[in-house]
Amino acid sequence: RSGGILEAMAQVRVIPVATLESEAEARILADALQEAGIPLLEVTFRTAVASEVIRYLRRADPLLRIGAGTILSPEQAEQAVAAGAEFLVSPGWEPELGRWCRERRILLIPGVATPSEVMAAWRQGWEVLKFFPAEAMGGVRTLEALAPVFPQIRFIPTGGIQARNLQDYLRLPNVLACAGTWLADRRLIREGQKEELIRRAREARALAGE
Ligand code: 3PG
């Protein structure tokens, strides 16, 4: 069920991370992303309606590839997958969650912030990892330092990334794509500012070199 997701990430190179409170909010964002040509979306499990929103988007936008973020446990992973999430993202390394996903061949992007966590995730077979919180953990300099030690790992830096520093990350050979909430800004979604959501998504696409 996760066929081609990593390829899509490597191609688009930006992944919006959204905390959505309703189907109406999901509609506004999905329309903006479609308009801008971004076919990927991570919906965080930080609201009670996250599962419903994922279910709705899977039905309403079959071409949008939807993942679930802020997944902390196998229980949440199960809910997200049942709702139709095609990939899962966790903020940190949780071996139980990793095992649960491996056994079911579900794509997990586990969060790491240190070499020890990279090693633990890699030992379980994960080679595409979320580097979080990217800016606070040393950003580009840390990823440059990790590159020669872990040549097999590709990172998705997340946390503090915006248009102004996106290219600094995307230039690094060990960065697959960047993710962040700047492409799914809460205030813009709440206020229904679709034009500004489209502008930001287009700007990110242009910075990522299409
Ligand atoms: C996440 O859930 O990955 C983070 O909230 C993203 O961080 P950002 O808000 O700085 O983009």
CATH number at residue 175: 3.20.20.70
How high is the pLDDT of residue 210? 55
Is 164 a member of any domain? yes
Is 96 a member of any domain? yes
Q: How many CA atoms lie within 13 A of 111 on its CB side?
A: 18
The answer to whether 65 and 6 are in contact (CB under 8 A) is no
- Domain that residue 193 falls in: 5-203
Q: Is the dihedral of CA 78, 75, 9, 34 positive or negative?
A: positive
The C-alpha angle with vertex 164 and arms to 157 and 9, in degrees rounded to 5, equals 40
Is 208 a member of any domain? no
Pocket of ligand 1 contains residue 181 by CB under 6 Å: yes
Number of domains, the chain: 1
Is 44 a member of any domain? yes
Q: Which two tokens stand for residue 33?
A: 């992303």
Distance 19 CA to ligand 1 centre (A): 10
How high is the pLDDT of residue 3? 74
Distance 155 CA to ligand 1 centre (A): 15
Q: Residues in the chain with pLDDT < 70?
A: 1-2, 210
Distance 185 CA to ligand 1 centre (A): 10
Is 192 a member of any domain? yes
Give the position of tokens 């299409």: 210
Is 210 a member of any domain? no
Measured between alpha carbons, how far is 187 from 28 in angstroms, rounded to an integer? Answer: 12
Is 15 a member of any domain? yes
Number of H helices, E strands in the chain: 10, 9
ipTM: 0.95
pTM score, two decimals?
Answer: 0.97
* 130 included as an active-site residue: yes
How high is the pLDDT of residue 131? 98
Is 136 a member of any domain? yes
Among 130, 181, 183, residue to substitute to test ligand 1 (most atoms within 8 Å of Cβ):
181
Quote the radius of gyration of the chain (alpha carbons, Å).
Answer: 16
How high is the pLDDT of residue 106? 98
